[in-house]
Structure 1
Amino acid sequence: MISKTLQLSNNRIAHYFEQGEGEPLVLIHGVGMQAAAWYPQIEYFSKDYRVISVDMPGHGQSTKLTDGAPLKAFVDWTIEFITALNLGAVNLAGHSMGSLITTGVSATRPDLVKRMAVLNGVYKRTTQARDAVVNRAEELKTGHIDIETPLQRWFGESEAEQIAAARVKSWLEDVDLSGYTTAYAAFAHGDQIYADDWAKIQCPALVLTGTDDPNSTAEMAIQMASQAQHGTAIVIENERHMVNLTAPDEVNNAMQAWLETKV
């Protein structure tokens, strides 16, 4: 992977990895992760596509946004990043919070998105689920990051899952606390902001999750896909929140079919 940076407005830096040639595929990770969190997809798709995996603001080497920035600020940042790449419309995929950003970009700037994919996304959480994630966002303001709880929630005990868990743990340990706190709050409060815009999305839309992800449920995936004009929902059995790492073959096959969808 080639490490690159783009200069954005207000002297902000966007850092990303790029690999391969061909039609552009832009990948946006979730809260607390880094651009490298798409490593199975970068390796697989860079054989035929120009894969660009970006550090979300306040993560990896990308400049953070102002404290308390809402989800729309992350969407606007991503729009600026894609525009600065000067590649025209891209295939855009997001995981977790990255899926909320992907939805926002696809709904507000359809000219920039050829196809969109949402992995382990959230859609109109229940009051109980929203309260739980908002409480976690508030706890971060105390300066403490709970790493073990999400690892236990996201990964099983198999060797493959534990290898992925070790990588995820290292990213969570390296994250900028301020950037992480701002992003998590935007994620916690962002599930409804673009939820009613799914009907506007006309490009091919893949919505994927695992049956064992209690926060990004199969029901959410089906609802999102049903709202889009050309949506497809895929639910992978016995998989949790980090499905792109724990079931890379199934995810890559689903994304390959999505990328081959005519537009």
Structure 2
Amino acid sequence: MTWTTRPRSDLSGLACIRAGDGPQVVLLHGVGLRSEAWNAQIDALSATHSVIAIDMPGHGETPFTDFTIETQAAQILRAIDGPFTAIGHSMGAMIAVELARQAPTRIKAVAALNAIFERTPEAHQAVQSRAASLDGPSNPAPTLDRWFGYTPSPERTACETWLRDVDPAAYKHAYTLFAASNGPSRNTLRTLFCPALFLTGGDEPNSTPKMSHTMAALAPKGRAEIIRNAAHMMPMTHATYTTNALKPLLERT
């Protein structure tokens, strides 16, 4: 898989990649990334669906404007007509669940990949410290080491490019939101009546398998799945496994 930059369309002020035809699927990336992080899933899912991969404000080609998880979800709902399945990774997973909370009759299904939920005090302190350190010079190496370890790969190289290119103010803003959040509330999950997949990696230290299993148990139609030997960037590093896990959810809708 290559991580080549793709052409964008404008979606009411949000830059997005569009591909395919059929039922709508919206893909939402994580902090510091851009829609090309979904390249493998765009190629696979667009064979049967209309795929819309959205750049978060200040990421990719979407201009930076102040936003929260709630306002970003509301903007997406205003920009897209009709029902759709929401698939998000990391912070994008928070937005995907929020979409279903705000518009339960329009969201056909949700997939939350590498989502956080009720961090431990130690994990909360660690992510808050990382957010506070973003006032200093940008250095993507610690982030890349957490995501990929120390082995070079095309996926690591692509993410390094994206992290260096992202608007620093937008990155700090988004990461601060991510660090302050504890994931969806238990009430939100208990009232998530659409099919919901909580997917993470077996080697994921921050969005842990326990978190995904707990969220799936709370959601009425929730299901957890764990990809062995995968960590935070599994949509890129374990692209085929990730796509294959998503397909049954899309078939249910």
TM-score by length of 1: 0.90
Q: Shift of the alpha carbon at 1:157?
A: 6.2
The AA in structure 2 aligned to 1:138 is A
What is residue 10 of structure 1 aligned with on the other side?
A: none
* Secondary structure of residue in 2 paired with 1:260: helix
Matched residues in 2 for 1:112 and 1:194: separation? Answer: 20
1:124/1:195 contact within 8 Å kept: no
Partner in structure 1 of residue 220 of structure 2:
229
Q: Which amino acid is the alignment partner of residue 168 of structure 1?
A: C
Contact 2:27 2:54 in 1 (8 A): yes
Matched, 1:63 2:63: yes
* Residue 189 (structure 1) shift: 0.7
| Pair 1:183 & 2:174 matched | yes
Matches of 1:259 and 1:14 in 2, distance apart?
Answer: 24
Q: Secondary structure at the match of 2:220?
A: coil
Q: State the identity %.
A: 35
CA displacement, residues 80-131 of structure 1 (integer Å, 9 cap, x when unaligned) = 2233221x11010000000111111212221231110000000000011011
Match for residue 115 of structure 2 among 117, 121, 126? 121
1:151 to 144, 152, 159: 144
What corresponds to 1:29 in structure 2? 29
Instruction: Give the whole-Å Cα distance in 2 for the aligned partners of 1:76 and 1:89.
Output: 19
1:42 corresponds to: 42
Query: Could you tell me which amino acid in structure 2 is paired with residue 61 of structure 1?
Result: E
Q: Deviations over 1:63-90 (max 9, x none)?
A: 2233xx5xxx23322322233221x110
Structure 1 residue runs without a partner (length 5+): 8-12
Is the 1:201–1:228 contact (alpha carbons within 8 Å) kept by the matching residues of 2? yes
SS at match of 1:60: coil
Q: Offset at 1:6? A: 2.5
**Matches for 1:45-194 after TM superposition, within 5 Å:** 45-66=45-66, 69=67, 73-86=68-81, 88-140=82-134, 142-156=135-149, 162-192=153-183, 194=185
**In structure 1, what is the Cα distance between the partners aligned to 2:206 and 2:26?**
24
> Residues 11-22 of structure 1: matches in 2 within 5 Å?
13-22=13-22
> Are the equivalent residues in 2 in contact too, given 1:104–1:194 (CA < 8 A)?
no
3-state secondary structure, aligned to 2:111: strand
- Cα distance in 1 for partners of 2:149, 2:181 equals 28
- Give me the whole-angstrom Cα distance separating, in 1, the residues matched to 2:14 and 2:216: 30
Residues 199 and 27 of structure 1: CA distance in aligned 2, closer, same or farther (over 3 Å): same
- Shift in alpha-carbon separation, 1:195–1:175, aligned structure 2, 3 A: farther
Q: CA deviation at 1:39?
A: 0.6
The amino acid that maps onto 1:252 is: T
Structure 2 distance, partners of 1:107, 1:115, is: 12
Query: d(CA) in 2 for partners of 1:75 and 1:57?
Result: 13
What's the CA shift string for 1:158-212, capped at 9, x where partnerless? 67xx111111111001010000100000000112453431001000001000011
Query: Would you say 1:4 and 2:9 are equivalent positions?
Result: yes
- In structure 2, give the amino acid aligned to 1:151: L
Following the alignment from structure 1 to structure 2, what is the Cα–Cα distance between the partners of residues 218 and 248? 18
Contact 2:190 2:219 in 1 (8 A): yes
Query: CA RMSD of the aligned region, Å?
Result: 1.6
